[in-house]
Structure formats: C-alpha cells, structure tokens
Structure 1
C-alpha cells in the first residue's frame, strides 16, 4: 500500500487527534443524563471523569515505550479502534461500575494521541511552523468538541426512536473512531515516527533514560509545573454544561452556550499559534513565555466575568466565547512548541511528552473535576434533592468552579517567571545550583502565598455553605 502525500497525512493525523478531543467531550456533556439514569450526584460524576483521566495519564508512558516495537501509524490506529469499541459498549450500559471500567479503557485508548499524534506533528512540520500547526490542531479539536457538546447536551435526555439520546451519540462517535482507524492505516506512511533499528529497552530502562534526560533540562521541569497547574481548571470545566443547566437554562440553551462559547477556541487556537511564532521570532523563547502569561491573565479575568454575569443568554455566550479566544494560547504558543524543541529525537520526544502529560494528568485528574464535585457538595449542591435546580445548588457549583480555576491559574502564571531566565535555544546549559535555588525559592514563596489565600477562602466559604445547605434541607 503506497503511502499518501505528506499533506494528506497531516490532515489525517490532525483529525485523529481532534477526534480524540471529541470523544473526550462526550462524558461532560452527558452529566445531566447520567445523573438521572444512574441516580448519582456530582461526586460520582467527578469519579467517572477521574477514572478516565487517570487511566489516560498512566497509559501515556506505555504508548511512548511501544514506539520502539512498532511504528506510530499502527499505534494510532490501534488507539482509535480501542476507544471506538469502549465508547460503543458505554452506550449499552446503565450500571455505574460498568461505566467506571469502560471509562478506564477509554482513557487508555485516548492516551495514544499525546505521545504518538503530537510526535507525528513535530515530524511533519518544521520548527518555525509548529505553533501554527498546533494552533490549527487545537482549533479543529475545539470545533469537534463544540459539535459533540452541543448535540449531546441538547439530546442526551431525549429519546431518539425509543433510545436515550446520549446512547445514540456514543454509537455515532464510535463509528467515527473506527473510520478514522481505517483512514490512518490507509494514508499515514509507516516511516513516520518509526522505531530505530537495533534500539530496544525495557519500560524501566526507558523511564530511567527519560528521567536522566529530564533532570538535565531545568526548562522541562518548569514546563511540567506549568502544565500541572494550568491543566486543573480545564479538567474542572467538565462541570460547565451542568452548571448552566442548574442556573436555569434549558438543555438546548445550555448546549448552545457551551458550544457557541467553545467555538472561540477555534479562533483562539489559530491566534495563539500565530502569536507564539511571532513572539518567538522577536524574542526567542522568552516571547512564547510572555504570550502564555498574557493568556493566563486574560483568561482568568474573563472567566470571573462569565461566572458573575447575569444569567442572560447572549451575555453568557459572548463572555464564554471571549474566554475561549484568549485562554487557550498557552499550549499552542508555548508548551508544545518548546517541548518539541527541547528534544530532537522523535522517540525521545514522544516518551518525554508522554512522561510530562502522565504526571500532569495524574494531578489534574485528582484536583480538577473530582475536587469540584466534592467542594460543590460541601457548599450545598444537592442534585438528587427536590431543590436540585435552585439558586443554592448553582451557587455552590459556581463557588467550587471559581476556586478550582483561579488558584491554579495564579500558580501557573508564577511558574512562567523562572522560565524567562533559564530557557535557551538548545536547552543545553544548566544554571548554577545557587542561582537555580534562588530562583526556585522565590517561586516557592509565591506558591506558599497562593495556598495561604486558598486556605483562607476555603475556611470562610466551606462551613458557611454547609450550614446553609443543612438548614434548607
């Protein structure tokens, strides 16, 4: 089978990565329907999201290691087949524990995208154009996620020919996943991210090699810290569709809010990639860090406005659209291009990305949606009570979302400060121990201050909300 042109291979790889984002959007958009059919609350919904996310994180290094055994094309196609099968089986089940097990399989399958798909993109695009490439990828992912979020939020609780809407949508997404697996096998060349001849290592040896490589690169350690802190809010946003439904918007309106607002990410991905490349040409690497900090500041400001504005449809849609335009620059402008530049070897790059996203995913999966579920119930969110759609429930979920978003964004902004001082083009130099410790000491005190603010906020909000909920129940 002759390999297709490079341009067609680019489109197929990008669409495979974007399809993974669409599959990952199914669960948050189905929260309201799953809450009714499985009779569960926000804590259990957070557990479903956690199981998928943690499985994805833990499987990342394994997919990266498998690159030494077979080519990236086969691994990416295998991942598509696996998540298509798991998504199809999810549509057949109404048991919470079965959903938990299948979410683990979905997470393992989706993990193939980060190390394999992104390593392929780094091979297909030159260094000067990777920001735009990742920008287009994020835009395509956002567009597909918005489409499935809108369809699922609107139709999840309706019956389509006697079948629950969320089940029908799961089957359709599974069919798309299988079709994408066939396209990958047909179009992507075997030589793209192929195993090196004679290079074999156990998973433990590979982990030791990557650990040694990472320890020599201070910038990677800070990229990891930034990814951990910045990823927590986006994991927590799995509850946004449910929040808008609890705020009084009908299912259709809630789906339109999340989908239309999410389309801002289509523009934001392209703008962020272009800004990152432009800033990198003007101020090598420091420019990318500056764009990331600007995105964090603008995103946090607009998100507060989204959560505090009056519940009018177009006001919420406009602000959420603006939020997605400005808040998504960091990965495409800085994180992915810089990580791609740190390591030149395709297998090392895939394994390093896998290690990075693994550690990031474990922490964000724990402190994202699950923490929102626990905090919201502590603040008085009761989905199974008669007052489930009252102002108290929406206010509790809003307080949890704000807390889990703003504190990590502050920490993420602080992490970029030492990045301005230690990154260079080859990332070959390391700081003197005293200089590095002085820089990290300043960073530590910033984190300590942020956690002190978080502790003060929780101590004032949590008991008061809990007493109000108990009094009303």
Structure 2
C-alpha cells in the first residue's frame, strides 16, 4: 500500500478524524441505548427476552449487514462525507422514532432503520483514514477512532440511565436522536473529503450488484481474511453481550437501580475497551515497524484473547459487584486487543477502491456473529433457564459465552498461518 504524503493538511486531517471520532461515539451510543432500558421497554411493551434479543440483535444486525454491503460500494465510489452525513441523519431520526414504539413490530422497525443508517459510519471512516494519514501513523489513527466506541458505550449507558430514570425511556430516545441530527450537519459542512490514495482505484462495474460481487470475490480470495473476519466476529460476541444484557444482569442479580446502571457498567466497559484499543494500536505500529510485516500485528489478538475466558466467568459468578465489574473491565481490555490489529491488517490488505467493502465485511461479521448471535444465544438460554433458576437464568446464559475467546483466537491463528504460508516470509507491503 502506498505510504505517500496525504493530500490534505495535517489540521484538516486531525479535524476530520475528530469528527469521525464524534460520529462513532454517537453511533455506538445510540446502538447501546436500548440495552440500558431493556427491562423498562420489555415491561412496557410486554415482550419476552427472546423478542428483545431479536429487535436489539438479529434484526438490527441483519439489515445493518445487507444495507452496509451496498452502502460500502457507494462509499468506495462516491463522496464519503456526504454519504456519512446522510447516514448520521437517518439513524438519528430512527433513534428518535424508537421512543415512539408501541409494540414489537414498531420497535423492530425502528431498530432496522437504525441499523441501515449506522452501516455508513465504519466503512466511511475506514475509507477516509488511510487517505488522511501516512501508513506509519495509520494504526494510531485507527486506534483513536475505534476507542470512541467505548466512549460511546460509557456515555450512552450513563446518559441513558440518567435520562430514562428522570424523563422516561421514550424521551431519552428523542433527545439522542436530536443530538445526532446536529452532528450530521457539522460533518456535512466541515469534514474533509481527500482524494483517494491511489490513481489505480478499480473502476466500478456497470451494475452495482456485479460490482459488489466482484469486490466480495476479491475479499474471499485474499490471504487469510475470511478466517480473520470470523475470528473478529466471534471476539465481538462478549462485548455485545455485555452491552445488550449487562444492564439487565446488574439489575436482576446485583440489584443495581436503573439510574446507577450506566455509572456502574460504563467505566468498566469504557476504561477496559479504550486502554485495550489504544495499547493494541500503538503496539501494532511498533511490531510492524520492527518486522516490516503488517501480519506481525496479528500476534497480539492471538495471545490476548484466550486470557479473556476466566474474566467472563468472573463477571458472571462473582457475588461481589466490585470483583464482577473488575473482571468485565479486564475482559474488555483483552477483547479490545483484537480490534485494531485485525481491522488495520484487513484494510491495509485491500485496494483503495475496496477499503469500504472490506471494512463492512469485518463489521458485518462483528455484528452478525457478535452483535446478533451472542445476545440472541444469551437471551434464548435465559428464557429456557428462567423457569427453574428465576432471574439467575441470565447469569448462566452469560457464562455460556466463556468459550468465545478461545474460538476467536483459533480463527486468528489460522488466518495468520494461512497468510504466511502463501506469502512466505513476506507480508502486506508497508
């Protein structure tokens, strides 16, 4: 990949990265709002845990995936900041509409619309950042961007808990949606749209579907990327479970009041995630500079992920709230070590005209496997176990996810080995 000087000023690059940072805070924050008020929404709308898992997991993720595949090709070919601004406005309006839901159908419809709109955020950022920063600084830039996800979780859970407790969950969604529309306008008028990083960007095929299929074939043929994407998705299961079911677990098993749920879970999730993301980003850049091989960064998740298993069990079974949340923080730190090395390697492996699609496939795996399957399995197990265990059924549903870090690590190791077999001692050119 080209390491040439970016065509925008350093100030414009930093400002655009800051706007992408804010966008991802709102993106993840809006996504996590429903998890904080799951109990209140479930009770008011008379829904089951399985229905809440479908609305907040499978339906959201499925349409986020389908929409993202087509939107990513628009991002790879069109004006990225305009598409992003439209996406922010769309998901913000849908977030506000969530506060108007009155049954399962309207709740699911609002979440589907949020999922489609949010499909613009990650691929737009992953397409823009390589054109804003040099290769040797790209890992740090991606790490800074991705750390915003955990700030979004922290801010979203704390704000959602406080607003829902004082104003009600419906007003909370309306306020969040309004803030997103304002951000969309700021992005539209002030973000930079740099030229793409190569004059050799592959031209789009005449039909959008044909162009999408051709891009997916190139992704399928890339060394180790399919295995890496599966590992990335499985690694995201526990983070999604914590966001979707952590607040309910704290209310059911630790008697934490709604107004305090965000204050309890937010810092543990946020501090662990932010420090793990930044640590992995800086360490990945160091390993790449020292070895000259981008693939060397994949050793970070291969080592870190297995150590998350005991942390999952600690969060599920410690009676002490302090020990449970400390386990959650360490778990998030270790899981976050998989994010930046995986994303940066995948995007660096792609041609400039395929970066958005590559990022979308990675995000789809994280969403479909992590965001949909993980919370759905926990909700399904909770419903099956609750008749005999009561509220503690959710505890054992969460504990069942302890195998996920080992499975994710196995996929990462297999991806690294596959790429190295094909490339020999070489790697993605840096």
Residue pair 1:60, 1:114 contacting (<8 A) in 2 also: no
SS in 2 for 1:423: helix
Residue pair 1:54, 1:365 contacting (<8 A) in 2 also: no
SS in 2 for 1:26: helix
CA–CA distance in structure 2, aligned partners of residues 197 and 232 of structure 1: 34
Moved more, 30-39 or 254-263: 254-263
- Deviation track 1:91-140 (CA, whole Å, cap 9, x = no partner) reads 22322211111111000001111221221122222222222222212222
The answer as to 2:214 corresponding to 1:209 is yes
The answer as to 2:380 corresponding to 1:374 is yes
What is the TM-score of this pair, normalised by structure 1?
0.80
Residue pair 1:293, 1:413 contacting (<8 A) in 2 also: yes
The answer as to 2:240 corresponding to 1:232 is no
Residue pair 2:140, 2:281 contacting (<8 A) in 1 also: yes
1:420 to 412, 416, 419: 416
Q: Which residue of 1 aligns with 2:396?
A: 399
SS in 2 for 1:272: helix
Aligned residues: 410
Instruction: Call closer, same or farther: CA 1:9–1:142 in 2, change over 3 Å.
Output: same
Instruction: Call closer, same or farther: CA 1:133–1:87 in 2, change over 3 Å.
Output: same
- Counterparts of residues 176-195 of structure 1 (less than 5 Å): 176-192=179-195
Larger Rg: 1
| CA deviation after TM superposition for structure 1 residue 77, in Å | 0.4
- Counterparts of residues 230-379 of structure 1 (less than 5 Å): 230-237=235-242, 238-247=244-253, 248-264=255-271, 265-283=273-291, 284-310=293-319, 312-332=320-340, 334-345=341-352, 347-379=353-385
The answer as to 2:177 corresponding to 1:174 is yes
SS in 2 for 1:201: coil
Instruction: Call closer, same or farther: CA 1:127–1:352 in 2, change over 3 Å.
Output: same
CA–CA distance in structure 1, aligned partners of residues 296 and 215 of structure 2: 27
**For structure 2, which runs of at least 5 residues remain unmatched after alignment?**
1-7, 426-430
What is the TM-score of this pair, normalised by structure 2?
0.87
Residue pair 1:30, 1:153 contacting (<8 A) in 2 also: yes
CA–CA distance in structure 2, aligned partners of residues 58 and 428 of structure 1: 31
Residue pair 1:120, 1:192 contacting (<8 A) in 2 also: no
Instruction: Call closer, same or farther: CA 1:199–1:255 in 2, change over 3 Å.
Output: closer
**For structure 1, which runs of at least 5 residues remain unmatched after alignment?**
383-391, 432-473
